Amino acid sequence: MSQIIDTVNRYAGMIDWSAFNTWYARYLEKYTNTKGKRITIGVAIALTLVCRSIYRRTTPPKNLRHIPHITFWDSINHFMVQKFPTSDTFKTLHRPLLNAKESMYLRWDRNGWVVHVAHPEAVKQVFMKSDIFPKMDESRFAGTLFARFVGSSNILFLNGHEWKKHRKLANPAFHRSMPVKLFGESARDLYAMLDKDNEGSNFTLDFGRLMERYTLDVIGRAGFGFNFNSVTDENSEWKKVYDEVTVSFRKPLFILFPILDQKFRWLFPTRLQEYRNLNKFMDMLRGVIDHKRRVLKESIGNGDDAEKDLLTLMLESENRGEGILTDDELMGDLGIFFIAGHDTTAFALSAAIYYLAKHPEIQEKARQEVTSILCPNGEEKRDVLPTAEQTKEFVYLNQIIKEALRINGSVVSLVTPRHTAADVTLNNVFIPKDTLVNVNIYDLHHNPNVWDDPETFNPDRFAAGAEADQKAGGGMSWVPFSNLAEQRVVLSTLLRHYTWNLPENSPHSKEIITGNTLIMFAKNLQVQFHKRF
């Protein structure tokens, strides 16, 4: 009811009541001399205002109509009604609007009407000119489930001084922490579990779900020193809680209409339970932070920085006087680290495994490279975990990872759109001040005006001097979003332990089938594995 009253008051403030009274006395008063007539006219005016509001929300603003747009109803149909995979939406709605010169279009989403850019030069401007393209203020989404997870003050959403405060602590931690040993030990636990649970030399499993379990353990240990034990225990309590939380983030109705979270969640009993699950998870994180603070007062500086978790490194920097964050700010950063280190890496690994399954010749070439580096004296039938230095020698494997991130990257577009702080021109297209602009990474990577034969998986395009290198000077044509070091460790050890392929009649035979939310995920990606030793 309060929302209705606010809407009425907002429109009432826009009306020139003096002019309205004159008009009413001259033309309408004689027709409203009974209560019934006044009610009828009042309802008609209310409906007119509602229709006007709907029209304004579903029609591009006048100052942006020179940009090609996707209709409001097409957006709703693809995302919420039909729930088409991202690739289908791209081919049907986006690709036809990506001309060679501008490669941009207008589309409605939860933020309103947003300009999506998919041209390397425009992408570079949006990323590099933060004074003209500052991040959108996310505070208006306060009260939603996702906002409660990442908070409003985190390293991803902030601008200017506040962003630098977070970055000052996080950046050194990222540079010092490269837990290759942890990645390898987690991978070894994974293979031990697979061998235990699958008798014989062949088995089939949902690889996407497996990677979600593995990467959750890794981000727990690498991020803040907590082991979810989801690899060794599929029924791990915290794994179940986190799964329920991530599924709740993907619900289209609440993504597109955040007001349902903010004002009307009491109408959705399952949503209330999802908030309780998130609160339980957040309480666990707070407990970890409190414990870390107590321990570090007595043990600052001990141990190998490269293998320390990010939270420990950030708190150590704080104790050295390099900056300070509140617990809520740390919680927000941990939420972002979860998304960046778990969901994105799980899909990146799934996509790489998928393309290696589809291209056995590429898989074998990568296996030979890995074996030559890890076992230079000949193939040995034993576990060999790569060192940090050895992962840098995986030239061809690195090309595979980069190409997988291009053709099926982990993130569809920027999590936080930018807004124009002044009138600006992008690729000769005028964009007025206070316009939302987003880099659409999926469109950029599949833009036929940017990449040759973009729907074909071809790691050679990332070879030295090849297509990717040739494009490097012309803006930003490749925008990865994942942990490459972790992928090198997992893929190199997988190549040593197994060969794999897609089952017959796989629904993924033509292309990987994904969801359509901001963070990509594979739908029931069954893969057949064959033990090598």
Nearest one of 514, 457, 412 to 85, comparing CA atoms:
514
**CA 109 – CA 57 distance, rounded (Å):** 10
The one-letter code for the residue type at 413 is S
Return the DSSP state at 196: H
Q: How large a percentage of the chain has pLDDT more than 70?
A: 86
Token pair 């090598």: residue: 532
CATH 1.10.630.10 in the chain, residues?
Answer: 139-531
Two structure tokens written together for 444: 């950029």
Token pair 């316009």: residue: 435
pLDDT of residue 5: 44
Q: Please give the residue that has the higher pLDDT: either 265 or 10.
A: 265
Sign of CA dihedral 158, 480, 87, 71: positive
Angle ∠(368,369,372) on CA atoms, nearest 5: 85
Three-state DSSP state, 194: helix
pLDDT of residue 16: 57
pLDDT exceeds 90 at position 48: no
**CA 137 – CA 45 distance, rounded (Å):** 34
Give per-residue pLDDT as tens, 505-532: 999 999 999 999 889 999 999 999 999 9
H helical segments located in 225-264: 237-249, 252-256, 259-263
Q: How confident is the model at residue 39 (pLDDT cuts 50, 70, 90)?
A: low
Two structure tokens written together for 93: 């709605």
pLDDT of residue 3: 47
**CA 113 – CA 94 distance, rounded (Å):** 15
Mean pLDDT of 194-217: 90
pLDDT exceeds 80 at position 79: yes
Angle ∠(96,100,102) on CA atoms, nearest 5: 90
Three-state DSSP state, 206: strand
Give per-residue pLDDT as tens, 450-466: 999 999 999 999 999 99
Mean pLDDT of 484-494: 93
Is the pTM of the predicted complex or chain greater than 0.75? yes
Q: What is the largest CA-CA distance in the chain?
A: 101
**CA 387 – CA 398 distance, rounded (Å):** 15
Two structure tokens written together for 473: 């000077």
Give per-residue pLDDT as tens, 305-317: 666 788 888 888 8
pLDDT of residue 469: 93
Mean pLDDT of 154-181: 73
The one-letter code for the residue type at 407 is I
Task: Order the strands of the 202-206 sheet from edge to edge.
Answer: 202-206, 526-531, 498-501
pLDDT exceeds 80 at position 23: no
Sign of CA dihedral 21, 26, 28, 32: positive
**Burial of 58: CB neighbours in 10 Å, binned 0-12, 13-18, 19+:** middle
Q: How confident is the model at residue 8 (pLDDT cuts 50, 70, 90)?
A: very low
**262, 266, 268, 271: CA torsion to nearest 10:** 60
**CA 364 – CA 497 distance, rounded (Å):** 12
Nearest one of 53, 253, 152 to 261, comparing CA atoms:
253
pLDDT exceeds 90 at position 58: no
Q: Which of 194-203, 398-407, 488-497 has the lowest mean pLDDT?
A: 194-203
Helix or strand run (H / E) with residue 419: strand 418-419
**CA 179 – CA 166 distance, rounded (Å):** 22
pLDDT exceeds 70 at position 55: no
**CA 248 – CA 34 distance, rounded (Å):** 52
CATH superfamily for domain 139-531 = Cytochrome P450 (1.10.630.10)
Mean of pLDDT over the chain: 86
Phi, psi dihedral angles at 476 (to 5 degrees)? -120, 105
pLDDT exceeds 50 at position 11: no
pLDDT of residue 46: 61
**Burial of 218: CB neighbours in 10 Å, binned 0-12, 13-18, 19+:** buried
Q: Please give the residue that has the higher pLDDT: either 139 or 368.
A: 368
pLDDT exceeds 60 at position 92: yes
Q: How confident is the model at residue 17 (pLDDT cuts 50, 70, 90)?
A: low
Q: How confident is the model at residue 7 (pLDDT cuts 50, 70, 90)?
A: very low
Nearest one of 354, 370, 350 to 532, comparing CA atoms:
370
Give per-residue pLDDT as tens, 315-338: 888 787 777 788 888 888 888 888
Mean pLDDT of 428-451: 96
Q: How confident is the model at residue 2 (pLDDT cuts 50, 70, 90)?
A: very low
Q: Which residues contact 497 (CB under 8 A, 6 or more apart)?
A: 191, 531, 532, 533
